[in-house]
Amino acid sequence: MKAWLNFSPSIVNKTIISDLIKNFDIHFNILRADITPKGGKMLIEMGGNQSEEAIKFLEKEGIQLTPIKKVVKKDEDKCIDCGACMSLCPVKAICPADDWTVDVDDKLCIGCGFCTFSCPTRAIKVTE
């Protein structure tokens, strides 16, 4: 699963994430983070045998978790590989392939929808 974790100012100095990784049988990736002493948020990808227990732990520690359920899909028949969508993607989920076509990595996508506004052929879409 991918999710945003929201940190309030009162918990930014706690070792919640390191405790999570140490104590649960999960794989955990930080895709993006913007956290200051005033709070912030982190985009994560998590999976593994103890994911449900890990989510409960995060919530018990005061982290608000918002799962991302959206997925991005590119219609290969409509795409003309112009690259207009690439520069708008905030997580670099859209990249040029070796053959200069445009690749979309659904695993990195956070479902923001920015790419859909730029596409001249409406080839790229974000769905639930």
Binding footprint of ligand SF4 on the chain (CB under 6 A):
72, 74, 79-85, 88-89, 91, 93-94, 102, 104, 109-115, 118-119, 121, 123-124, 126
Is 17 or 123 the residue whose CB approaches ligand SF4 more closely?
123
Q: At closest approach, how far in Å is the CB of 18 from ligand SF4?
A: 27
Q: Which is nearer to ligand SF4, 49 or 121 (CB)?
A: 121
Q: How far is the CB of 107 from ligand SF4 (least distance, A)?
A: 10
- Note the Cα 106 to chain centre separation in Å: 9
How far apart (Å, rounded) are the C-alpha atoms in residues 32 and 23? 22
Q: Minimum distance between the CB of residue 38 and ligand SF4, rounded to whole angstroms?
A: 25
Shortest spacing between CB 102 and ligand SF4, in angstroms:
4
DSSP string computed for 20-68: HHHHSS-EEEEEEEEEETTEEEEEEEEESTTHHHHHHHHHHTT-EEEEE
Place of tokens 């200051």: 36
Cβ nearer to ligand SF4, comparing 17 with 72: 72
Question: Would you say the C-alpha torsion 103, 107, 110, 116 has a positive or negative sign?
Answer: positive
